[in-house]
Structure 1
Amino acid sequence: MNKKEKLELLKDFNLYCLTCEEYSIGRKNIDVVREILEAGVKIIQYREKKKPMREKYHEVVKIRDLTAKYNALLIVNDHLDLTKIVEADGVHIGQEDYPIEVAKEFLGENFIIGLTTHTKEQVMEALRKGADYIGLGPIFPSYTKEKPHPPIGIEILDWAIKNISIPVVAIGGIKESNIHEILNLGAKCIAMVTEIVSSPNIYEKTRKIIHILEGYKNGKYIA
């Protein structure tokens, strides 16, 4: 896929899954990602805050092989060097990470660059700086980070969906139980962490979420 085709996945009804071994109830990131991909997910973000860099590297190499096998995107959280070394599809950076212009200069034009945003001002700044997509949230309370940002609610998401030209990925506390509230606003790409990785049956849970997204894509939700 070229960059334009990759970005289409972020614009469409898709599940964007993030790794989080800490909440994977004893399962390794590799095994979790394999199940997620087998279930049909096309966007994986490798997010691992606590492991040594060498261990992260070896994990990402294996995950890159898996995403290539399943023709899925691999986005790496934070690490520009790791993104480039393993030839991932892109990087996702936060408000306190490298500036977008630095990421663009380091990676080049063929890599996707996503930016975490929490406010309208940050969203507009992401547009001005040339982000390829934004992650907007946390929509609901989320506890996967050591210092979680307060939930921003659905009002900013509603505004972004109606006013932003680049893909908006909704993230933060999104579950099977509240996903309809997000999708009914017009959101398409939905990020999930613990709802997937903490599920006793990752494959089955992932298929359920994909089924919901496909229902909205086809014009109505099919239970």
Structure 2
Amino acid sequence: MIKSENIENKIIFPIWDRLKEVSLQYISQGKTPQDHLQNIQKVCKAGGKWIQLRLKDVDTVTYLNTALECRNICDQYEVIMIINDSVATAKATLADGVHLGLKDTSISEARKILGDSFIIGGTANTIEDCMQHLESGVDYIGLGPFRYTTTKKKLEPILGLRGYRNILYKLKKQNVKVPIIAIGGIIEQDIEDLMKTGVSGIAVSKILTGQKELNQNINNIKMLITQAHG
């Protein structure tokens, strides 16, 4: 596990080694930064191993302070920590990586700032988006949305299973090995069919936020993903 007090440790754990066993990402949710942290801690405690801190409409200082607290939580549970949108926050808090939207800092620019030891993920909605990210050296692609979701204000066109099948088929023909993570309104009943499209994993928010049986929920999701992987 990468401890925040020692950035050199990142070099010891190659990006592929850190991602290959991770197929479930929790994207944080909450009305306040403190709610986000509480939900993140609950997911980590219940067995989640990949967290994305996603704060919107907060000032830079609040994002930084919340990310520092999130880093401590993730260190405690040995969890991969990704920062949404903010390259500066990811670097300042020694996060494991950053996830960038289509209108955020470019993948190539983020790589120049962060270096090769940080995980960089990018949002994609089309095969063209995917190819652009791949050319820029992305480490994983968050492909979506699968269906309508209220967690994003400006939603890209919904893909559905047909959209995923079409894009994953084209990526397979290109022999793409970068993990493709399905995202956007996913519920537990979607997982089996989604995994059959060829995605490497899923990113979820609502189905893990505030759930009473969180341990069981996470175990069920991991089991569905494992079964689909064969």
Displacement of 1:137 after TM fit? Answer: 0.3
TM-score, normalised to structure 1, is 0.87
Which amino acid is 2:63 matched to?
K
**TM-superposition CA deviations, 1:21-68 (whole Å, max 9, x none):** 13x9x9711111111111211110000112222222221111111111
1:20 lines up with 2:29 in the alignment:
yes
Distance 1:66 1:130 in 2: 29
**TM-superposition CA deviations, 1:73-117 (whole Å, max 9, x none):** 101001111001110001110110111111111111111111100
Which amino acid is 2:207 matched to?
E
Which amino acid is 1:17 matched to?
Y
Does structure 1 conserve the Cα–Cα contact (< 8 Å) formed by 2:191 and 2:225?
no
Q: Secondary structure at the match of 1:147?
A: coil
Partner residue, 2:99 = 92
> Higher relative contact order by CA 8 Å / sep ≥ 6: 1 or 2?
1
Does structure 1 conserve the Cα–Cα contact (< 8 Å) formed by 2:125 and 2:157?
no
Partner residue, 2:119 = 112
Seq. identity, %: 30
Does structure 2 conserve the Cα–Cα contact (< 8 Å) formed by 1:9 and 1:42?
no
RMSD: 2.3
Distance 1:188 1:120 in 2: 16
Partner residue, 2:5 = none
Deviates more, 1:88-97 or 1:2-11: 2-11
Does structure 2 conserve the Cα–Cα contact (< 8 Å) formed by 1:14 and 1:41?
no
Does structure 1 conserve the Cα–Cα contact (< 8 Å) formed by 2:26 and 2:205?
yes
1:135 lines up with 2:142 in the alignment:
yes
1:32-111 mapped onto 2 (5 Å cutoff): 32-111=39-118
Does structure 1 conserve the Cα–Cα contact (< 8 Å) formed by 2:146 and 2:186?
yes
Distance 1:216 1:119 in 2: 24
Distance 1:166 1:141 in 2: 25
Following TM superposition, the consecutive aligned residue runs of length 4 or more in structure 1 with deviations greater than 6 angstroms are none
Does structure 2 conserve the Cα–Cα contact (< 8 Å) formed by 1:15 and 1:190?
yes
Which amino acid is 1:165 matched to?
K
Distance 1:41 1:80 in 2: 23
Displacement of 1:201 after TM fit? Answer: 4.1
Unpaired runs of 5+ residues, structure 2, are: 2-9
**TM-superposition CA deviations, 1:113-162 (whole Å, max 9, x none):** 11100000111111111111110000122221112222112234333363
Does structure 2 conserve the Cα–Cα contact (< 8 Å) formed by 1:10 and 1:189?
no
Change (3 A) 1:78 1:13: closer
Distance 1:82 1:12 in 2: 25
Of the three residues 180, 189, 200, the one matched with 1:168 is 180
Which amino acid is 2:48 matched to?
V
1:179 lines up with 2:191 in the alignment:
yes
